[in-house]
């Protein structure tokens, strides 16, 4: 499969406006994400998908590629789906790397792409790692995923699942990276938004609601922190220092 990495980036953010251009150890957040994602062995090409002139100019200035789908998009997946016709070449698979993951592991990008390639019945792929702390299990900002015997997602939730009725449950934290078959991605935006997606504010539930399967790569190591808030930014700066 030919794989393109797409990084959705927008200027507006209720918690952190202008986040993509924020400097981290001499380089902008979006450039760090772009360069790390591009190192993946499965990345045939990499683009930033944005609607903002400042972000587009900045990405082009450091030599990156930009696509600018037009419209108002409910999710990053909807934005990427609208960009499918704007790429320079055709691709079989798209990997969505979040624009606030400056420490993303290029090996994780490879794993997500290859999981989708190996599992023909899956329309999407993503990743997770075990949860070891009770605080993370109880935190609604930490998305949990429950898997079936073959490694496909049964459900994603902000609630603590599975519920540990007796003793401690084996739980997994969802890592916000997605692989999509292009044929599925072109259909995604035409699917009605599901009640579960609206309730949990989790875009991947739209796929599950409509009967599409998501295969999940399980990593033993925890994912590095992303940047959701200015406080997160300082923590990442300290790690890089």
Residue 197 is part of a domain; what is its CATH number? Answer: 3.90.550.10
Is there a domain that residue 92 lies in?
yes
Structural domain span for residue 38 = 3-219
Each residue of 159-191: pLDDT tens digit?
999 999 888 888 999 999 999 999 999 999 899
Q: Count of residues for the chain?
A: 241
Closest CA to 211 of 230, 232, 234, 192: 192
Looking at residue 14, what is its pLDDT? 66
Question: Is residue 189 helix, strand or coil?
Answer: coil
Domain count, the chain: 1
Residue 204: how many other CB atoms lie within 10 Å:
24
Q: With respect to residue 233, please indicate whether it lies within any of the assigned structural domains.
A: no
Give a yes or no: residue 228 inside a domain.
no
Structure tokens that stand for 53 in this block = 């002139």
Residues 55-81: pLDDT tens digits?
999 999 999 999 999 888 888 899 899
Look-up of token digits 């808030």: 229
Residue 96 has pLDDT above 90, yes or no: yes
User: Could you give the C-alpha distances from 167 to 162, 163, 164, 170, in angstroms and in order?
Assistant: 12, 10, 6, 10
H/E run at residue 66: strand 65-67
Mean pLDDT of the chain: 92
Q: Is residue 234 part of a domain?
A: no
CA-to-CA distance for 225 and 122, rounded, in angstroms? Answer: 27
Give me the pLDDT at residue 238, please. Answer: 84
N- to C-terminal Cα separation, the chain: 37
Whether 194 maps to a domain, the answer reads yes
Q: Quick check: 131 and 139 in contact, CB under 8 A?
A: no
Query: Within a domain: residue 142?
Result: yes
67 belongs to a structural domain: yes
- Quick check: is 155 in a domain? yes
> Which runs of consecutive H residues, i.e. helices, occur in 87-227?
106-118, 134-138, 182-188, 195-200, 204-209
Helix (H) or strand (E) holding 105: none
pLDDT digits (tens, 9 = 90+) for 119-155: 999 999 999 999 999 999 999 989 999 999 999 999 9
| Helical (H) or strand (E) element with 201 | none
CA angle 169, 144, 10 (to 5 degrees): 165
């Amino acid at each position: 499969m030919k794989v393109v990495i797409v990084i959705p980036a927008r200027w507006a953010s209720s918690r952190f406006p202008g986040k993509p251009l924020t400097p981290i150890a001499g380089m902008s957040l979006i450039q760090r994400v772009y360069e790390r994602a591009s190192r993946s062995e499965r990345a045939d090409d990499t683009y930033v998908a944005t609607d903002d002139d400042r972000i587009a100019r900045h990405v082009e200035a450091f030599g990156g590629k930009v696509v600018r789908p037009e419209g108002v998009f409910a999710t990053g997946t909807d934005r990427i789906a609208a960009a499918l016709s704007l790429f320079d070449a055709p691709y079989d698979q798209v990997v969505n790397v979040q624009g606030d993951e400056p420490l993303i592991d290029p090996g994780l990008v490879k794993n997500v792409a290859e999981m989708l390639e190996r599992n023909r019945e899956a329309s999407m792929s993503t990743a997770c790692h075990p949860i070891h702390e009770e605080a993370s299990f109880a935190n609604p900002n930490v998305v949990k995923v429950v898997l079936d015997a073959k490694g496909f997602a049964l459900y994603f939730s902000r609630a603590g699942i599975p519920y540990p009725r007796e003793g401690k449950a084996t739980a997994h934290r969802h890592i916000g990276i997605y692989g999509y078959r292009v044929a599925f991605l072109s259909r995604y935006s035409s699917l009605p938004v599901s009640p579960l997606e609206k309730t949990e504010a989790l875009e991947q539930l739209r796929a599950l609601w409509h009967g599409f399967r998501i295969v999940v790569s399980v990593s033993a190591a925890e994912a590095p922190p992303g940047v959701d808030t200015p406080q997160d930014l300082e923590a990442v700066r300290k790690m890089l220092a």
